[in-house]
Amino acid sequence: MKPLLFSLFDSSELARRLQESLQVDVGEVTFHRFPDMEWYLKINSEVKNRNLMVVDSLNQPDEKILPLLFFAKAAKELGAKKIGLIAPYLPYLRQDKRFHQGEGITSRYFAEMLSTSLDWLMTIDPHLHRYHSLDEIYSIPTFVLHATNPIAAWIKQHVSNPVIIGPDVESEQWVSSIAEQGPFPYVILEKVRHGDKEVAIWVKLQKRGKCELDHPK
């Protein structure tokens, strides 16, 4: 029996494309907010003995994680076999160590929540810094896709004489991969974070490919 594909939030277009390419069935679910903002959900499709795929980007995760966990729990109670999550954006990877006494390592807590409710996870280029792999924090199978090849192909087709700019040193792993496929020149900016919404960024003298940039006068 074909897997059943659900889109819970804002990924209907992605779900449509996946349905066409994978030739899977699409399931229906109803979500509703009570006046006190609690969630109501009803799975309208038969899920018994079916493998389910949920596709949604988890941007603004605090609005989405409870409905997702409720959906997974209800689906399992209704007899679903396995439930996988396709999340192009995977949140809660920023806090990957305890920087100050008393802080929570929320990347681990989030991974534990998803691992207890789902059977596998697929994402695109997760923001891994101190972790080498999602397997360090997720106890379910994880699959990582990379967007650098299609990004490089799009740039080749649509942009003349591009320069690829990375906002900080952590971005170099993706920027350099895109640049190599051009080949395109690229530059990595220096960044100092002074708070959640206050960031200083500047250009340091460096050379990548054919591009040379210096401090502004």
The residues spanned by each domain of the chain are 4-145, 149-203
**In tens digits, what is the pLDDT along the chain, a chain of 217 residues?**
889 999 998 767 888 888 888 889 999 999 999 999 999 999 999 999 999 999 998 999 999 999 999 999 999 999 999 999 999 999 999 888 898 999 999 999 999 999 999 999 999 999 888 889 999 999 999 999 999 999 999 999 999 999 999 988 888 889 999 999 989 999 988 888 777 778 788 776 554 554 444 444 3
Top-level CATH class of 149-203? alpha beta
Residue 106 burial (CB count, 10 A): 14
CB 149 within 8 A of CB 119: no
Q: Does domain 4-145 have CATH number 3.40.50.2020?
A: yes
* Fold: same for 4-145 and 149-203: yes
**How would DSSP label each residue in 3-63?**
-EEE--SS-HHHHHHHHHHHT-EE--EEEEE-TTS-EEEEE-S--TT--EEEE---SSGGG
Q: What is the pLDDT of residue 168?
A: 86
Q: What is the pLDDT of residue 214?
A: 43
Q: Is the pTM of this model over 0.75?
A: yes
